[in-house]
Structure 1
């Protein structure tokens, strides 16, 4: 997977500062070109009290000047680490759409974005720019949680559901493993519910009903991945997929989760959501999501 050109959407919050720090780590490691993008969405900006006295164009220019001063701080930080950045501001109506349009118009290999981890009513009212970018972006997106403190890739968790989408995640993870000499943990989560009668009889696991199920599934997982390197392990669990993924990443001290996103939109997304989206929201481990429209190059 290439890291030549990296985009980091920034809003100067602690969340985006984490994303910038992680992107700088990648840029140092790979000599990447780094672009910081701020979407100027005036009705969502923290404008000053005299805003109502200014006409729209004057207000936008005033805000853009403030943004450039903030960008200078990131420039100084990058300069101390030998990384050059391109600071860009783009006007738009919706931040996520502005970011996605910018991605479409340029040749980026990766987007690194901070995630707020909103839930419940707050998420319903405000939405999440990061989640929409993850869901729709045609290039891989690396989501960085606010609690990330270490910047390294030594162990990668790769959840697999045997779909064609998952093959892209496997391909990306194998490439990153080679680049960082990282270990791999491939995971399949069986989500099939038991009939209540089994619980009444003291049976709480499909693996109890079918003693060979775990081994058969593990064999299928190995075959699907098609990788025989000694740095890989294979794990089969049962439960809710996003819970098991998040908990495994934490308990196994993984540095990165690599997953596929199916790009659900509209009513389908509203009703179903996605395992990937929930993992991005709740995982404190960085999550790399890969889409359907971008091939991977291991250069």
Structure 2
């Protein structure tokens, strides 16, 4: 039996002034869910030459970073640090250190600031930081840029790819709808010329809607009809016409079956959306059951903290 929760949240932040949005988004979940927040600042590791000197230097950088992190938090909380907030400074390479901590510790959610796109030729061939963190994260990752859910989450847009299994997406839609008292808005695309009600897109979306509403969560369906272009482009176009507070997309666990379409959907929404995007993690039991083609499903237990 699965127990879903969002009680333990990791928030990597920069002290250079560009980590403010992720911090504010984390404070929303702290207030709304009474969640425990770990603010993480990573001091870049230097050369291995002169290990003794290097070690002293790193310890000094680490201590100074902690002082700045404490000051950053106290400014927002009238000179004190809340009981359910932990401050942490680590040394290492930014992306690999975050992935290591997420992999080895039981966090329920990671909230990160989305990096700005670069115009340099070298950076065009590199994966963005958010992509590298999302790629193999076991827990969900919430990416924010300039907008965060300061007025609450009333509508969650959920793009549905009819070519992929959607059990995790369905379960998380029910969980998040209950957790935040939000409406789930399923968005799917029809790319072939066929009567709408006979299409797989229509049938799958409405089956999901029925199951979601059966759990007491409000739900609506929007189907984008296009006879040209890709499913991703249709979904991105449909999303731009909706007014939502949060977008929730399926993780990468089925990329092996979809020829990379799952990854394209995730990265497409990550880099085109101005509102927060929640990327579901790779759930190990779900991943292996998909490999085996299992249709068995176990009951789900939902934990909602008020």
Q: TM-score, normalised by structure 1?
A: 0.78
Q: 2: distance between equivalents of 1:126 and 1:73?
A: 34
1:274 alignment partner, SS class: helix
Q: 2: distance between equivalents of 1:62 and 1:37?
A: 17
- Within a 5 Å distance, the mapping from 1:71-110 to structure 2 comes to 71-77=69-75, 79-80=77-78, 84-92=84-92, 94-110=93-109
What runs of 5+ residues in structure 2 fail to find an aligned partner? 286-299
CA contact (8 A) 1:135 1:264 kept: no
- Within a 5 Å distance, the mapping from 1:82-161 to structure 2 comes to 84-92=84-92, 94-118=93-117, 121=121, 123-124=123-124, 127-148=127-148, 150-161=150-161
Equivalence for 2:272: 282
Equivalence for 1:65: 63
Give every structure 1 segment of 4 or more consecutive aligned residues whose post-TM-superposition deviation is greater than 6 Å: 268-272
CA contact (8 A) 1:186 1:233 kept: yes
Q: Give 1:170 shift.
A: 2.3
Q: 2: distance between equivalents of 1:77 and 1:102?
A: 27
Q: Given the superposition, is the C-alpha separation of residues 96 and 264 from structure 1 closer, same or farther in structure 2, using an over 3 Å criterion? A: farther
Aligned residues between the structures = 273
Matched, 1:11 2:14: yes
- Within a 5 Å distance, the mapping from 1:139-288 to structure 2 comes to 139-148=139-148, 150-162=150-162, 166-190=166-190, 192=191, 206=192, 209-212=193-196, 217-225=201-209, 226-228=211-213, 231-237=218-224, 238=226, 239-262=229-252, 273-288=263-278
Q: 2: distance between equivalents of 1:243 and 1:119?
A: 22
Q: Give 1:68 shift.
A: 0.9
Q: Given the superposition, is the C-alpha separation of residues 246 and 223 from structure 1 closer, same or farther in structure 2, using an over 3 Å criterion? A: same
1:34 alignment partner, SS class: strand
Q: 1: distance between equivalents of 2:19 and 2:275?
A: 15
Q: 2: distance between equivalents of 1:165 and 1:215?
A: 16
Cα root mean square deviation, aligned: 3.4
Equivalence for 1:199: none
Q: Given the superposition, is the C-alpha separation of residues 83 and 154 from structure 1 closer, same or farther in structure 2, using an over 3 Å criterion? A: farther
Equivalence for 1:201: none
